[in-house]
Chains A and B, each alone.
Chain A
Amino acid sequence: MPHLNEAQARELVQKILKLSKSEVCEVFVGGGTSGNIRYARNTVSTAGITEDLSLAVTARNGKRSGTATGNQFDDATLERVVRRAEELAQLAPEDPEAMPPLGAQQYRPNPAAWSDATAARTPEARARDAEASIKAAKSREAAAAGYLEENQGWAARGNSAGNFGYHRSTGLNFSATIRTTDGTGSGYVQKDVTDVMRFDAAAASAIAAEKAVASREAKAIEPGKYTVILEPLAAVDLVQPLLFSLNARNADEGRSPLSKAGGGTRLGEKLVDASVTITSDPWNAEIPDNPWSGDGRPQQQMTWIEEGVVKNLFYSRYWAEKQGKPATPPPPNLIMAGGSASLEQLIRETARGVLVTRFWYIRFVDPQTLLFTGLARRHVLHRGRQDQARGEELPLQRVADHHAEQRGRAREAGADPGLARPADAGAGFHLYLPFRRRLGSSSISKARPSGRATSRTPKVGNGREARPGGRA
């Protein structure tokens, strides 16, 4: 399976462009290898390796366009995909919102996205990590269920207007659920890194094992108002949907939580507490991402919410031109700045509250108000000081009761500064939100056919962004 370097990828893109007979041709090519191991009940269940290529060609004639894809690079397939795209472009109706192709863009390289060590990993190495995770569970008389996946890939895009870009990346995604054998305790851990050298399966699994033991024999609590401290994994689930509210067109069209009564948007309004600042940065070493957006615009470092105030919205090229605004692309990730206190400090300062380590099945109830429903997959209740804290997990029978209160809280996230300490999880801590990966790994049912976004599958370069969608 070819892992093309930049020169080879450029040559391939040019070869495809030369096949084109349309006014404009846009090409996206890529390839990757993904290896994984999955385990449960302290034994390995499945493991595998997948090699694949991707090829997407968009042909444009005037305001008509068509896109075709394939996954072979032989000459016949290249030509077939180009012709298929051209034929679709001829058959498609004109799109009044079609935009001219981007000329040559400057894509800032992102070397932090690649690790030789990750690329060199083997099935044996993955087996050793799974073994370490299982051992961590066994040492606490618990059972591990986990998943480790490693990816390496490259992607290139170009068009007949002179644009070209190349990017390569590696990644390791690990998660484990460790449950006590009596079935009453459960802990979860998740680690996503670019460089495998920064990953320690045993240490990560020990966290989940510790949480499992600490949450054994949980007690129920009554519904009511509680101070809520959200660990990063929980906070991610509430912050992530905010991304889709930053769409300028939806806000302008009056169908967004950022739409203002009487018309206009809430850009510039203070919507949440001043402690909340949310940015995006594809060059962040923790969560590096593609240097381009789905339609090829260069990514940039952006501030979306600053001290609680909405600072920017993202635009399609069409809508930006129509509104006379900068064509800011949607963010590749979201980074929520931390406060000055550690998690331990927050807990010490909380007389009575609930520490939520993770949410489960968070879904929109009302997109108007960013009202969500869902359950806290793991609650740990703390009373008083940290040294007096006792881990307790809410039994399922009580979660439904608690449910209503969570919704109340969630509603406040978009409406007023009521969401308690959403991310002050540690000194200098940043809440990282590699949302595209999470979209790809979140769990049914009403996704739009525009595609599902994953870290392994680059977006088709047709200028449309993947939309959020869950599965049932």
Chain B
Amino acid sequence: MERRNFLQLSGLAAGALMVPGWDRHARPWSGSLTPIPVADKKALADAALNAAKSRGASYADVRIGRYLNQFINGRETKIQGVTNTESFGAGVRVIADGTWGFAATQDVTPDGMARAAAQAVAIAKANARLQTEPVKLAAEPGHGQVAWKTPIRKNAFEISVAEKADLLKAVGDAALQSGASFISFGLFLVNEQKYFASTDGSYIDQDIHRTWPNFTVTVTDPTSGKFDTRDGGSAPVGMGWEYLDGLAADKVTTPAGVIVYGRTYDMVEDARLAPGQVKEKQKAKSVEAGKWDVVLDPSHLWLTIHESVGHPLELDRVLGYEANYAGTSFATLDKWRSKAFKYGSPLVNFVADKKQVGSLGAVGFDDEGVATREWDLVKDGVLVNYQAIRDQVGILGEGRSHGCCYADSWSSVQFQRMPNVSLRPGTRPLTPAQLIGQVEKGIFIIGNGSYSIDQQRYNFQFGGQLFYEIRNGKIVGMLRDVAYQSNTQEFWNAVVGICDQRDYRLGGSFFDGKGQPSQSSAVSHGSATTRVAGVNVINTARRIG
């Protein structure tokens, strides 16, 4: 099939025929939201798989991807950028002579696919002489022709630019009316249309959606020359436009009086409330360094979970495959083998998951054709497992991959990426107000801020967005200049209280970085408000000597 013919068949060329009518509510995607026919993709995938096998590959997989993004951003009440991006291509991964090879091309034709497959095999063979640990894949049954789609209610890509611009302008206006000096804002929308095929007999078509509304409010003080900021309280989510519904039932008023958000987000309200909180922060008392109990809202805790639990339990890190870039791990295999390594207090249970509805990591199948699931990482405080994919899970004595393989583009090779890693909520009824009521001297932290952790994911420091002093079970006012330092094991073993399921919320990031060449993946982390006793809090404004 000629590429041009294929493109016309697939609807990619539909835009050429479009006569612009400039309807304010038009959806400027000109055919790219219409899935490419599965039969076309299967034919192209088979061209690559057959070429790989004929050149000596013992295994091959193909990912044909169309990746759409939309960015709308601006400042104050001005929309300054409206961008639609589209990337289309295919990546072919093979095992030949026990060695991985990969090639990617934007030439998505039968010839282009076969050429990429040949390149991948040639690369594998060129490197085979250096290979001392031949690749062994855990078995995965062929799934035949299957499909999966993010369960969205409103496709954000089908919402008009005008509606989005109106929302963002309302956000900017709300912040300025409430006393913000400046606000920058944006919408970041993702649609991954991915087709996977392998020599195992899987042909998997997936349509994945993610949404991230965001803003930063700044309040300046021209007299002192100082300024403070507060980021929006949204979470990037594996949802459609319905995340912006901002339903009353999804709003939580914390014991500090700050509204935080659950399954949906009221962006305008959040922007209206933020400037007042920044002004309060500017006048707040600077924290006294020392030992404090910290009570961490899920909007904050997700990042600590990400860095100190998600990353160190990636098996490829543990084994040293990320030593040159993302780092290694303190959570070595001997600790896991002991079946007694106390990662946290008995209250602490971490679960890995690739299915949670609304999460960034949710997919039906991972990028090497493995059906997704959830599994325990830390149970009753004890380290019980890692995150592993087909070529490494055998090291753990398991016969089936965990299903957490991902590539951020058709042009990137897939490898082990963090699934959603979440702290299970407490099993006893406990609200944030009740939890704070138990604290004699503590700090309640909302939102994630500055962060840093060492290459083995052990020693760390985290800041936040808003900090509230707790004295004798009551919140008595705001603090500033707060960051806490600890190490992973000490910190999670100091957990003395976790609120129940009613308080469970997700946070997350679009930008988990790992691998060379570096790839981003999107991942969510859930938790309920959690109390950690006796944490070392520093004053970030203090000068030494």
Contacts and interface: CB of A to CB of B under 8 A. Distances in A.
A38 B515 CA distance: 9
Q: Is the interface of A mostly helix, strand, loop or mixed?
A: mixed
A330 to B, nearest CB: 17
B123 A88 contact: no
A71 B3 CA distance: 13
Interface string A175-198: 111010000000010000000000
Given A77-B7, A396-B458, 4 more contacts: A45-B100, A130-B127, A362-B452, A442-B513
B222 A263 contact: yes
A38 B320 contact: no
Interface of B: 3-4, 7-8, 12-16, 18, 20, 22, 24, 26, 28-31, 71, 73-74, 78-89, 91, 99-107, 119-120, 122-124, 126-127, 129-133, 160-162, 165, 169, 181-182, 184, 186-188, 212, 214, 218, 220-227, 231, 303, 306-307, 319-327, 330, 411-413, 415, 448, 450-456, 458-461, 463, 483, 485-487, 509-514, 516-518, 520, 538, 540-541, 543-545
B88 A72 contact: yes
Interface stretch (A104-112, A276-284, A363-371): A363-371
Contacts of A149: 516-517
Instruction: Specify which of A47, A81, A123, A462 lies most central, judged by the most chain B CB atoms within 10 Å of its CB.
Output: A47
Given A51-B104, A444-B306, A84 B30 contact: yes
A52 B16 contact: no
Contacts of B327: 360
Contact of A472 (B26, B461, B483, B512): B512
Interface string A236-263: 0000000000000000011100011111
A297 interface: no
27 contacts: A36-B516, A44-B127, A47-B101, A47-B124, A67-B83, A69-B86, A76-B12, A76-B15, A80-B30, A88-B28, A88-B82, A134-B130, A147-B325, A179-B320, A255-B182, A259-B227, A375-B459, A397-B459, A399-B459, A400-B486, A403-B459, A404-B538, A440-B518, A450-B81, A460-B85, A472-B306, A472-B512
A201 B136 CA distance: 29
A360 B73 contact: no
Contact of A97 (B22, B80, B107): B80
A1 B116 CA distance: 11
A121 to B, nearest CB: 12
Contacts of B182: 253, 255
Contacts of A127: 126-127, 129-130
Nearest to A66: B82
B87 to A, nearest CB: 5
Contacts of A188: 324
Given A80-B30, A446-B511, A41 B320 contact: yes
Given A46-B415, A48-B102, A50-B103, A83 B18 contact: yes
Nearest to A186: B323
A225 B82 contact: no
Contact of A91 (B80, B120, B162, B324): B162
Given A68-B85, A69-B84, A261-B223, A43 B132 contact: yes
B197 to A, nearest CB: 18
Contact of B123 (A47, A53, A255, A260): A47
Given A91-B160, A134-B130, A460 B107 contact: no
B303 A76 contact: no
Given A79-B16, A95-B79, A51 B107 contact: yes
A273 interface: no
A87 interface: yes
Contact of A177 (B30, B324, B545): B324
A407 B124 CA distance: 45
A218 to B, nearest CB: 14
Contact of B29 (A37, A84, A175, A399): A84
Given A95-B79, A403-B461, A444-B306, A49 B123 contact: yes
Nearest to A369: B541
B170 to A, nearest CB: 12
A1 B7 contact: no
A445 interface: yes
Interface of A: 1, 34, 36-53, 65-72, 74-77, 79-81, 83-93, 95-97, 123-124, 127, 130-131, 134, 143, 145-147, 149, 175-177, 179, 188, 225, 253-255, 259-263, 360-366, 368, 371, 373-375, 377, 396-397, 399-400, 403-405, 407-408, 411, 440-452, 460, 462, 464, 469-472
Instruction: Specify which of B30, B306, B330 lies most central, judged by the most chain A CB atoms within 10 Å of its CB.
Output: B30
B15 A79 contact: yes
B104 A92 contact: no
A76 B13 contact: yes
A92 B82 CA distance: 7
A66 B321 contact: no
A367 to B, nearest CB: 8
A97 B88 CA distance: 33
B18 A262 contact: no
Given A1-B107, A449-B188, A38 B516 contact: yes
Instruction: Specify which of A50, A375, A403, A443 lies most central, judged by the most chain B CB atoms within 10 Å of its CB.
Output: A50
A40 B324 contact: yes
A48 B101 contact: yes
B535 to A, nearest CB: 12
A149 to B, nearest CB: 6
A42 B132 contact: yes
Given A91-B26, A408-B543, A444-B306, A80 B13 contact: yes
B226 A368 contact: yes
A75 B512 contact: no
Contact of B187 (A131, A444, A449): A449
Contacts of A405: 544
Q: Which 7 A-B pairs have the closest CB atoms?
A: A80-B15, A48-B102, A471-B513, A261-B225, A408-B544, A76-B13, A449-B188
A449 B127 contact: no
A348 B105 CA distance: 53
Contacts of B122: 123
Contacts of B323: 40, 145, 177, 179
A67 B225 contact: no
Nearest to A264: B225
A360 B454 contact: yes
A87 B222 CA distance: 41
B84 A67 contact: yes
Contacts of B130: 39, 43-44, 127, 130-131, 134
Contact of B133 (A43, A375, A470): A43
Given A123-B127, A363-B450, A472-B511, A49 B520 contact: no
Given A92-B161, A177-B323, A450-B81, A365 B540 contact: yes
A457 to B, nearest CB: 10
Nearest to A189: B324
Instruction: Specify which of B84, B188, B319, B509 lies most central, judged by the most chain A CB atoms within 10 Å of its CB.
Output: B84
Instruction: Specify which of B3, B126, B415 lies most central, judged by the most chain A CB atoms within 10 Å of its CB.
Output: B126
Contacts of B129: 127
Contact of A443 (B83, B165, B513): B513
B127 to A, nearest CB: 5
B513 A444 contact: yes
Contacts of B212: 449
Contacts of B20: 83, 86-87, 90
Contacts of A70: 86-88
Contacts of A441: 516, 518
Given A74-B3, A123-B123, A51 B105 contact: yes
Contacts of B22: 87, 90-91
A401 to B, nearest CB: 9
A408 B106 contact: no
Contacts of B485: 400, 403
Contacts of B325: 147, 175, 443
B456 A396 contact: yes
Contact of B84 (A88, A444, A450): A88
